[in-house]
Amino acid sequence: MAPKKKSKRSLTSRAPVAEAATQGSRATSYDVALRAGISQSAVSRCFQEGASISPKMRARVMRAAEDLGYTPNAIARSLITRRSNLIAVIISNLTNLYYPEVLAELSALASAKGIRVLLFTLSSESEIDHVLEQVWQYRVDGAISAARLSSAQIDTFSKNGVPLVLYNRYLQGSAASAVFCDQSDGARVLVERLVSVGHRRFGVIAGPRDSFVGQERVAASLQQLAKLGFHNVPVVAGEYDYESGVRGLHELVSAAKRYLQAVICANDVMAIGAMDAARFDLGIAVPDKLSVVGFDGVGPASWSSYRLTTLRQPVQRMAEATLSLLLDRISNPSLPAERRVFSGTLIEGSSAKLGPT
Amino acid sequence: MAPKKKSKRSLTSRAPVAEAATQGSRATSYDVALRAGISQSAVSRCFQEGASISPKMRARVMRAAEDLGYTPNAIARSLITRRSNLIAVIISNLTNLYYPEVLAELSALASAKGIRVLLFTLSSESEIDHVLEQVWQYRVDGAISAARLSSAQIDTFSKNGVPLVLYNRYLQGSAASAVFCDQSDGARVLVERLVSVGHRRFGVIAGPRDSFVGQERVAASLQQLAKLGFHNVPVVAGEYDYESGVRGLHELVSAAKRYLQAVICANDVMAIGAMDAARFDLGIAVPDKLSVVGFDGVGPASWSSYRLTTLRQPVQRMAEATLSLLLDRISNPSLPAERRVFSGTLIEGSSAKLGPT
DNA sequence: TTGAAAGCGCTACCAC
DNA sequence: GTGGTAGCGCTTTCAA
């Protein structure tokens, strides 16, 4: 291996080797110090907020830094400050259409606060342990998870002193902070209004088993239906994607012998799939012959071809809350866990007939 | 500030302080060494690939590590190895619907290779300098940029010894590696076939000025149109979003006095917007009265409501190529820049009438 | 205000 | 195979 060429060990009072950041290795605070004829610690101070340094000295240092193309090494800094300014964002399926919106918000907000996002995506549930291993290695200051975490996994966060905020899910009995949207209320309103306008035969396309919000949406809907006297509502499984919606509707329709009147889908994309399946595969007019509703409020839901009736999540406010919870706990680790619960907004599109407000 | 409690300085031959990773600070290789009654360097070796360590010793160390919940500190490691195993991924608009797909691919591939993704999103072009500053600070091993970079900005990468691969763009005269999809061919075919089947009055909805592929798509289309005798084709500006497509079609139609026959959109989402505007706002049947084509091949393009005729980019293969170019240059920085150019695939949906193949 | 020195937790290079 | 030692580039006391 080629020998590094930094002299080191010989402090400021050494021959001023005019040493530019040539090949590969970048300039260090040490190089800058040498060039500015000053101590290394003074250079360090120049790059800190309220450090005591005289204006003339700072100017000299900054000039030298510029000449050498010096940038402080955040890695080395975080080693000693014990702050990486890194947060982990763990997302299970970026293909969900909903999560990119969340990620974009989180990333923008974090960036504005000088925090960097280390992204971890899972293509399968089984990767989670491996991913967590990486999270620990990088000594992130905190983590946001929109992926399913077991209670034991959640515990490792506090054990490792890494604040964690769950997004769009929480674990009962676990003391993890969480931000999510309580859609039970919305689901109840939705169901009630569907019933009030005369829908009688319902079907549900559920989300994946590991989706917390999916379960909640379905459960709340079924519960309200039961309350209003509708039992044994058929539920088919889905995977949150368009094809699931298409497939789901086919299944429901064949099960219901075409008498289906309203379909509640655990997310928008499946609702869109269901609408398309109804109109194009089965020749069922939406909303005249079939009402379709979804959850999320993603972009495509509002496209003219769909104008989906859905319960929109306040993504931006939720992202803000998530980051704020996290940053609070990073600066004060002893803060107790907190849940921030939002309400969804009912978007009355034209994919379902609803009763009067 | 509370005094740290690690004794350090006293090497192995010290009183074995039974020290668990209690509050906050995590266990170090030093703690593990102490507990296993072994040297710190041996512990380090246990966590490296082909390091020489006896099985029994390794077992002992691993046990101690487990007890203490020890995980190697990647930050400290990268300080000395000069490898952070971090790559920067710079993306301008995650809201584009196309980029989340790319990001998901890149992230999955990187993860599989033991590389972590540090995500940088830009909400505006002006942030780029600030973002680059952060990229330097974190000493990433390499970078992938799907955002617009000036030639000077590109130069700073090589100046800092950070390999860079541009995604979906390249800069003429600049020696940066790049992966993109040459859609000129596809655009030519598309135009030719539109003409062959009788379209005469064209319109174009362009992408943002800073979109390299957008410019290329439009330029190639116009060029081919000119070649076939169609000059002064109206072009309206767009921002790649659904509303741009809607607005764009309105503009084109009013300019063309309703005689518009085919619209070429610089991406799928605008094409979708244009289709919706045609059908729902203006009562123009697609493709009977108007053909609409797009570029990208994003998910929604294939939804039954659209079945868009589009030129699909091989996202997965492009992501693979991008990462492979980058990793090659990380392990061998002297490798010359390279461009990997892919061809798009024409997806014949039903949003446009095309001639025979 | 400034500089010397002591590490942060780790890997690398030695001798043994 | 193993352990000591010397740093990686930085922040942080602590004296001067």
For residue range B267-309, what is the model confidence (pLDDT) as tens digits? 999 999 999 999 999 999 999 999 999 999 999 999 999 999 9
Residues B60 and B68: their CA atoms lie apart, in Å, by 12
Q: Which residues contact B113 (CB under 8 A, 6 or more apart)?
A: B323, B327
Q: Which residues contact A178 (CB under 8 A, 6 or more apart)?
A: A165, A166, A167, A169, A170, A171, A337, A339, A340
The protein residue nearest nucleotide C9, judged by CA to C1', is B76
A274 within 8 A of A265, measured Cβ to Cβ: yes
Residue A113 corresponds to which amino acid? Answer: K
The three state secondary structure string of chain B is CCCCCCCCCCCCCCCCCCCCCCCCCCCCHHHHHHHHCCCHHHHHHHCCCCCCCCHHHHHHHHHHHHHHCCCCCHHHHHHHHCCCCEEEEEECCHHHCCHHHHHHHHHHHHHHCCCEEEEEECCCHHHHHHHHHHHHHCCCCEEEEECCCCHHHHHHHHHCCCCEEEECCCCCCCCCEEEEEECHHHHHHHHHHHHHCCCCCEEEECCCCCCHHHHHHHHHHHHHHHHCCCCCCCEECCCCCHHHHHHHHHHHHHHCCCCCCEEEECCHHHHHHHHHHHHHHCCCCCCCCCEEEEEECCHHHHCCCCCCEEEECCHHHHHHHHHHHHHHHHHCCCCCCCEEEEECEEECCCCCCCCCC
CATH number at residue B54: 1.10.260
Residues of chain B positioned with their CB less than 8 A from the CB of A127: 111
Percent above pLDDT 70 for chain B:
93
DSSP 8-state class, residue A3: P
Q: At what angle do helices B212-227 and B184-196 cross, to 10 degrees?
A: 40
Residues A317 and A167: their CA atoms lie apart, in Å, by 12
Give pLDDT, residue B17. Answer: 36
Mutating which of B66, B70, B82, B304 best tests the A interface, going by the most A Cβ atoms within 10 A? B304
CA end-to-end distance (rounded Å), chain A: 74
Give pLDDT, residue A183. Answer: 85
Give pLDDT, residue B25. Answer: 77
Query: What residues does B311 pair with on adjacent strands?
Result: B295, B346
Residue-wise pLDDT tens digits, A70-126: 999 999 999 999 999 999 999 988 888 999 999 999 999 999 999 999 999 998 888
Of residues B250, B244, B258, the one with CA closest to residue B209: B244
Provide the CA B133 to C1' C3 distance, Å, integer.
Answer: 29
Looking up tokens 């900005």, which residue turns up? B153
A176 within 8 A of A209, measured Cβ to Cβ: no
A219 and A264 in a single domain? The answer is yes
> What is the token pair recorded at B77?
């490691």
Residue B311 has pLDDT above 80, yes or no: yes
A231 and A169 in a single domain? The answer is no
Residues A316 and A106: their CA atoms lie apart, in Å, by 8
Give pLDDT, residue B331. Answer: 94
Query: What residues does B91 pair with on adjacent strands?
Result: B121, B146
Residue A257 has pLDDT above 80, yes or no: no
Asked if strand C comes closer than 7 Å to A53 Cβ, the answer is yes
Using CB atoms within 10 Å of the CB of residue A357, give its burial: 0 to 12 exposed, 13 to 18 middle, 19+ buried: exposed
B112 and B51 in a single domain? The answer is no
Phi, psi of B29 (to 5 degrees): -60, -25
Assessment of whether the complete model's pTM goes beyond 0.95: no
Q: Is residue A76 part of a domain?
A: no
Helix ranges (H only) for A170-314 are 184-196, 212-227, 242-255, 268-276
Residue A128: strand, helix, or coil: helix
A209 and A223 in a single domain? The answer is yes
Q: Is residue A142 part of a domain?
A: yes
Number of other residues whose CB lies within 10 A of the CB of residue B175 = 12
DSSP 8-state class, residue A26: P
Q: Which residue has the higher pLDDT, B13 or B29?
A: B29
The stretch A16-42 carries a mean pLDDT of 76
Looking up tokens 């000119």, which residue turns up? B226
Residue B8 has pLDDT above 90, yes or no: no
> What is the token pair recorded at A139?
């000594």
B258 pLDDT band, cuts 50/70/90, is low
B160 and B177 in a single domain? The answer is yes
CATH number at residue A329: 3.40.50.2300
> What is the token pair recorded at B166?
């541009």
Using CB atoms within 10 Å of the CB of residue B144, give its burial: 0 to 12 exposed, 13 to 18 middle, 19+ buried: buried
Torsion angle defined by CA atoms of residues B279, B281, B282 and B286, in that order, rounded to the nearest 10 degrees: -10
Element at A121 (helix H, strand E): strand A116-121
Closest nucleotide to the alpha carbon of B3, via C1' = D13
Give pLDDT, residue B13. Answer: 31
Looking up tokens 């034209």, which residue turns up? A350
Residues A330 and A140: their CA atoms lie apart, in Å, by 10
Q: Is residue A139 part of a domain?
A: yes
Closest partner CB to A95 (pick from B104, B123, B281): B104
Q: Strand C: list positions under 7 Å from protein Cβ.
A: 1-5, 7-13
B73 min Cα distance to partner chain A (Å): 5
Residues B106 and B144: their CA atoms lie apart, in Å, by 9
How many separate domains does chain B show? Answer: 3
Residue-wise pLDDT tens digits, A210-243: 888 999 999 999 999 999 999 999 999 999 999 9
Peptide bond preceding B3 in cis form (omega within 30 of 0): no
Residue A12 has pLDDT above 60, yes or no: no
A292 and A187 in a single domain? The answer is yes
> What is the token pair recorded at A275?
């609408």
Q: Is residue A337 part of a domain?
A: yes
CA end-to-end distance (rounded Å), chain B: 74
Query: What residues does B296 pair with on adjacent strands?
Result: B312
Cβ contact, residue pair A138, B121, below 8 Å: no
Residue A307 has pLDDT above 60, yes or no: yes
Q: Which residues contact A70 (CB under 8 A, 6 or more apart)?
A: A21, A26, A27, A28, A29, A31, A32, A64
Residue B55 has pLDDT above 50, yes or no: yes
Residue B1 has pLDDT above 70, yes or no: no
A333 pLDDT band, cuts 50/70/90, is very high
Closest nucleotide to the alpha carbon of A81, via C1' = D11
Q: Is residue A13 part of a domain?
A: no
Q: Is residue B247 part of a domain?
A: yes
Q: Is residue B340 part of a domain?
A: yes
Give pLDDT, residue B18. Answer: 35
Give pLDDT, residue A20. Answer: 39
Q: Is residue A177 part of a domain?
A: yes
Number of residues written out for chain B: 357
B165 within 8 A of B177, measured Cβ to Cβ: yes
Residues A30 and A8: their CA atoms lie apart, in Å, by 8
- Max CA distance (Å), chain A: 91
Looking up tokens 């889908």, which residue turns up? A265
A264 min Cα distance to partner chain B (Å): 19
Helix ranges (H only) for A13-149 are 29-36, 40-46, 55-68, 74-81, 99-112, 128-137
Residue B16 has pLDDT above 70, yes or no: no
Determine the residue of chain B that is closest to A100 in CA distance. B100
Residue B7 has pLDDT above 60, yes or no: no
Exposure letters B218-250 (e unless 16+ CB within 10 A, then b): bebbbebbeeeebeebebbebbbbbebbbbbbb
A54 and A92 in a single domain? The answer is no
A187 and A177 in a single domain? The answer is no
> What is the token pair recorded at B323?
């990462």
Q: Which residue has the higher pLDDT, B17 or B292?
A: B292
B224 and B282 in a single domain? The answer is yes
A168 pLDDT band, cuts 50/70/90, is very high
Residue B53 corresponds to which amino acid? Answer: I
Asked if strand C comes closer than 7 Å to A79 Cβ, the answer is yes
A305 and A189 in a single domain? The answer is yes
Looking up tokens 């691993």, which residue turns up? B62
B147 and B125 in a single domain? The answer is yes
The stretch B113-118 carries a mean pLDDT of 96
The stretch B20-30 carries a mean pLDDT of 71
If you average pLDDT over every residue of chain B, what do you get? 90
Exposure letters A261-281 (e unless 16+ CB within 10 A, then b): bbbbbbbbbbbbbbbbbbbee
Residues of chain B positioned with their CB less than 8 A from the CB of A137: 71-74
Q: Which residues contact A311 (CB under 8 A, 6 or more apart)?
A: A183, A186, A187, A190, A293, A294, A295, A296, A297, A344, A345, A346, A347
B271 within 8 A of B245, measured Cβ to Cβ: yes
The stretch A313-329 carries a mean pLDDT of 97
Q: Which domain holds residue A35?
A: 19-67
Of residues B194, B93, B27, the one with CA closest to residue A299: B93
Residues of chain A positioned with their CB less than 8 A from the CB of B106: none
Give pLDDT, residue B29. Answer: 95
Phi, psi of A96 (to 5 degrees): -70, -10
Q: At what angle do helices A29-36 and A55-68 cross, to 10 degrees?
A: 120
A279 and A228 in a single domain? The answer is yes
Give pLDDT, residue A24. Answer: 61
Number of other residues whose CB lies within 10 A of the CB of residue B78 = 20
The stretch B158-177 carries a mean pLDDT of 91
